[in-house]
Structure 1
Amino acid sequence: MLGAHLVTDALQRAGVKTIFSLSGNQIMPIYDACIDAGIRIVHVRHEAAAVYMADAWAQLTGEIGVALVTAAPGITNCLSPVFSARLAESPILLLSGDSPISQDGMGAFQELDQTEVTKKLVKKSSRLSRAQEIDQDITSAISLALSGRPGPVHIAMPFDLLQEEVDINKVKRGQAPARVSKPLSQADAQEIMERIARAERPLVLVGPMNNSSRAPDLRKDATDVLQSPIIAMESPRGLRDPSLGHFPQVLKKADLVVLVGKTLDFTLDFGRSAGMHPEADIIVIDPDETMIERAQNLLGTRLYKHAKADSDAALRGLSDYTYPHKRDAWLQEVDRAIANRALKSPSEENATNPGPQSICQAVQKILDEAADPILISDGGEFGQWVQAFCQAPTRIINGLSGAIGGALCYAVAASIARPNATIIAMMGDGTVGFHSTEFETAARENASFIAVVGNDSRWNAEYMIQLREYGPDRLYGCTLNDSARYDLLASALGAQGAYAEQADQLEEILKKAVNNHSATCINIRMEGKAAPVF
């Protein structure tokens, strides 16, 4: 058996049926092996797109997302979305072709120490060294990606190992890949339970892996038992996340804050007391010792308790106890605060083009009517309006990394993962430029989604920084061509395209696009506005 077939065999044992890839010399043996394994290859137009798609696949299915790229330029092309996936807590296996081991140190074609390049971005970066250990290496890497705080892992695959003939009797088989979960110790669970039971206004904050899209049942069950609101924080705007409405107001009232897999970082203002009640106790539960140490350093004596455990296992463990108090009033107060979308400065609509709020309202009507809606939000200021005024049971955002540009890739993967879903990907005109050629991928793969491009002809987040920090006479370098027609670009690449200048036009176009069952780009002229502030 060839080494390449050992790779696909290991993927099959992990339940992998689809991978995302851009072809290259060093990975063609894998392409050939995928034929025999029955693994679908979704061929993209840029390596970064493959990783974004694997990220979305992992978020939507809970399975390992697999991206396959070629050697040196292939792996370096996909670093940004790897960083994004790490902060999104998405389990991804990144497989890359590599120069032959037999040519190490000889100046081989595209020779690069790839593990040195990726090791700071992934949970583990390794290079295959023996063909008979390929199965073991890949299955253990997948288990690692799924376990603890999920995230990407990287394996570089030397070309000569992929072509090596291996005696099947000498193959070292790894255990079937699975998430290995670490629960709270009984003593830790008992102590934390008792503190939650004594609290009057507790809050539980979780990270992306336990958001309402990826862990809805776990969150609901834990909320009901703990009688504590469970809030996912997954936006780089932190406490100013528009999807959380007036949440900062209730955070300041909480007498107990429990971080369950939510890292203490910039999104919580590093735990500074200004964002929380000065006398609130803080409990940190995390699978990573380094994150616990960070909390100890930042919080000092304000840290009531810390424990090492996986966040999902911790929530289940704490839900095994009986809590004496109902906190209906507190739960309702937090729900009202998060749902509150009262703007500090009301959004005024321009007579020429609609503002972002009007666009969001038109899109929300479609989401409300859909049986299985998926919302994708990507971009700077427009993305914040989307997160504030559009909701769906399943949502993917560009996440804590702040990286933009993945929306089209997310949409392609979403359509393949859930072909009957109504998928709306909303993005700015800056965002769509990153991976616009994936409209060709979408058309070729028969993906069905609607891309709504809010076109204000500028990089609006940076424009607003210039306007705020430097003044209107110092606006420089952040404008885009106001004649750009992203709908025509999509049409030229095989997708559908539509153009709108008013919100009522958008509603009609959206209704038609839903029934088209194809990839559609709607380019709507929009008045650029700063992100909403509540």
Structure 2
Amino acid sequence: MAMVDGGYLVGRALANEGVEKAFVLCGGHVMTILHGMKEAGIEIIDVRHECAAVYAAMACTRSSGKPAVVVTTAGPGVGNTPAGMMEAMSMNVPLLQIGGAVSMATRDAGDLQDMDTLQLMETCSKWAKKVTETERLPFYVSMAFRHAMDGSPGPVYLEVPTDLVMREVEEDTVHFPENCRAAVVSGGDDALIEQAADLLASAERPAMIVDDGARWSLGDDAAAVTELSDYLKMPVGVSGSNCRGLFGNEYENPLLQTNAMGKADVLVTLGCRFDFRMGSGSAIPKDAKVIQIHTDMHQVGFNVRADIGILGSTGAVTKNILARVREKRNPKADAPWTGEPKPGPKADRLPPEYHSDATPTHPARAAADVTKFLEEDAKDWNIVCDGGENLVWFVGTTTASRPGQIHYSGANGTIGTGPCLSIGAWVANRKPVLLFIGDGSFGFYAMELETMARFGIPAVCVIANNSSWGQIQLTQNARLPEKVAKNGPCNVQLADMRSYEAMTGMWGGYGEKVIEHDDILPAVRRAAADALKNNVPAIVNVEIDDEIPSPFLAPYIKMLNDARAKEATTS
């Protein structure tokens, strides 16, 4: 009988679960796991920071539809990852992190990196366990994936002491679980399906909103969303990035990128969590009927009433509703109630601020010129956006031509993820990457651009540089004007137009600093040409205005200013 170590068992167990990609940072406690994955044919991408591995795994999982794995060494290696795990949790991204730990024999005895990381990871994972026997490693890997991929998908953690993965056992004595996940998805309660179909068949202004929670239960029935939209001429808004492009090419059918929940008389919600991103549902008309569909019963009725609440697979339930609607009425023949959508590029149809000729460059203008590059030169590229204000200006301009194309942060407002998401997206599909990022966000994981160069990833990183932590600076100015006037800005300013583009000299890539708005698009095109030719990242560092709040922040600043003016009037 063949003798194999625990690392081999982990690699084989992961391969049995369909894992193809792993994101890691090497360490002594997990060396045999890395070799085990390599022997199992799993592609390994090593990054410069453990949390970067989690963000990259998230993008890879979203792009490919297959959960990726993160492997981190003991103690601080694991301790570097909670922010990423919390981000995955907030976006319902299923992934497995395997963390190293001290040997069972030296636990609690002062060994190197002897830390209670299991307790730490329990706070940011939907499931966390420690393995205590080498022979049970495949059992726990299988269990981890059942929890990661259940009705409320998310990140899970498995801790493996180093002596267990170093120990050798007879391979034939180890049981490898097979067919251990449910294959059948629920299509919803028949009576509720009938009620939902009745509402939609008679609706004058039907609309649908899809959130990140729908991604993993749409399955093979994502097309049912498109078909229902076509049948009723129903606008579909997509919140978050998990589901962008899943329902068809948004260039060809912009009705799949039309959020009309604020005027709907019947609203269908798929996998939605009505948190602050969606205004906690405040835009939904009080007299509208709301049909909530989710795999997680705790999200049905969260902040928003569910006139009809259906527990089940978002894809299968939508497919069943479509079948009943077809029995009740003919397809809608006239234009959508929101008006005839305009297909094709939208860079030239953006609001006036996106065409501003002001100096310094309006942040919207920088976003518009990057959008123009994507629409004219790079429709199939991966698109990654990272930042606070920066994300707001850019995300609304993007259009998905395929699933898994667009990536940005979720409800946690995590910034700095962009370079890491870029790596994961490329690993999933080997398509070039456009990263639009703020200068503050760029600093978190800038060295992951070196990872991109090392793996031959063609990418253009456009830095919208306002030489500050823009969103916080604008908020500080509005909330604490007297203190700012007295003390000056407090810890919100960065170096004036730092030459981040010079970083590409480390790998012989292209870098350019842009001051004038007319030079943005030509610079991005030069950068793209070099990135594609040499398979390395390029950087375009664009100066933007630091005094203009985004559409997200502007109402808040106005509220503060109005309250201050009212107080001054009455005092």
Q: In which range does the TM-score fall when normalised by the shorter chain?
A: 0.7 to 0.9
Give distance in 1, aligned partners of 2:421 and 2:351. Answer: 30
Closer, same or farther in 2 for the Cα pair 1:314/1:16, shift >3 Å? same
Q: Determine whether 1:374 maps to 2:411.
A: no
Helix, strand or coil at the partner of 1:318: helix
Counterpart of 1:498, as a letter, is: E
Moved more, 263-272 or 519-528: 263-272
| Cα distance per residue 1:383-440 (max 9 Å; x no partner) | 2111123434321112222101111111122222222x23211000001000001111
Helix, strand or coil at the partner of 1:465: helix
Aligned to 2:66: 63
Aligned to 2:477: 467
Aligned to 1:194: 198
Q: Give 1:335 shift.
A: 5.3
Aligned to 2:408: 397
Aligned to 2:520: 506
Closer, same or farther in 2 for the Cα pair 1:218/1:62, shift >3 Å? farther
Aligned to 1:304: 307
Aligned to 1:486: 500
Helix, strand or coil at the partner of 2:62: helix
Give distance in 1, aligned partners of 2:102 and 2:462. Answer: 41
| Cα distance per residue 1:21-62 (max 9 Å; x no partner) | 111121111122233223222111111110010001011111
Closer, same or farther in 2 for the Cα pair 1:192/1:85, shift >3 Å? same
Q: Determine whether 1:253 maps to 2:259.
A: no
Counterpart of 1:470, as a letter, is: L
> Which residue of 229, 232, 248 maps to 2:235?
229
Q: Is the 8 A contact 1:367 1:392 kept in 2?
A: no
Closer, same or farther in 2 for the Cα pair 1:442/1:132, shift >3 Å? same
Q: Is the 8 A contact 2:237 2:258 kept in 1?
A: no
Aligned to 1:291: 299
Q: Determine whether 1:49 maps to 2:52.
A: yes
Give distance in 2, aligned partners of 1:95 and 1:36. Answer: 17
Q: Is the 8 A contact 1:245 1:388 kept in 2?
A: no
| Cα distance per residue 1:73-105 (max 9 Å; x no partner) | 111211111111122222211111112223333
Helix, strand or coil at the partner of 1:166: strand
Closer, same or farther in 2 for the Cα pair 1:346/1:428, shift >3 Å? closer
Q: Is the 8 A contact 2:368 2:394 kept in 1?
A: no
Q: Give 1:371 shift.
A: 5.1
Closer, same or farther in 2 for the Cα pair 1:372/1:129, shift >3 Å? same
Computed over aligned residues only, the root mean square deviation of the Cα atoms, in angstroms, reads 3.0
Closer, same or farther in 2 for the Cα pair 1:264/1:169, shift >3 Å? same
Helix, strand or coil at the partner of 1:409: helix
Q: Give 1:494 shift.
A: 5.6
Tell me the TM-score normalised to structure 2 length.
0.82
> Mind listing any 5+ residue stretches in structure 1 that lack a counterpart?
236-242
Closer, same or farther in 2 for the Cα pair 1:524/1:45, shift >3 Å? same
1:115-514 alignment to 2 at 5 Å?
115-176=118-179, 180=183, 181-208=185-212, 210=214, 217-225=223-231, 227-234=233-240, 250-272=260-282, 275-292=283-300, 295=302, 298-299=303-304, 302-323=305-326, 324=329, 326-327=331-332, 328-330=334-336, 332-333=338-339, 348-351=356-359, 353-368=360-375, 369-370=377-378, 372-393=380-401, 394-419=405-430, 421-471=431-481, 473=485, 475-492=489-506, 495-514=509-528
> Mind listing any 5+ residue stretches in structure 2 that lack a counterpart?
242-253, 555-571
Give distance in 2, aligned partners of 1:35 and 1:136. Answer: 20
Q: Is the 8 A contact 2:511 2:527 kept in 1?
A: no
Q: Is the 8 A contact 1:229 1:334 kept in 2?
A: no
Aligned to 1:240: none
Q: Give 1:493 shift.
A: 5.7
Give distance in 1, aligned partners of 2:398 and 2:297. Answer: 37
Q: Is the 8 A contact 1:127 1:155 kept in 2?
A: yes
Helix, strand or coil at the partner of 1:284: strand
Helix, strand or coil at the partner of 2:324: coil
Figure out how many residues of one structure are paired with residues of the other and give that number.
Answer: 515
Aligned to 1:112: 115
Closer, same or farther in 2 for the Cα pair 1:288/1:108, shift >3 Å? farther
Helix, strand or coil at the partner of 2:317: helix
Give distance in 1, aligned partners of 2:509 and 2:318. Answer: 44
Helix, strand or coil at the partner of 2:114: coil
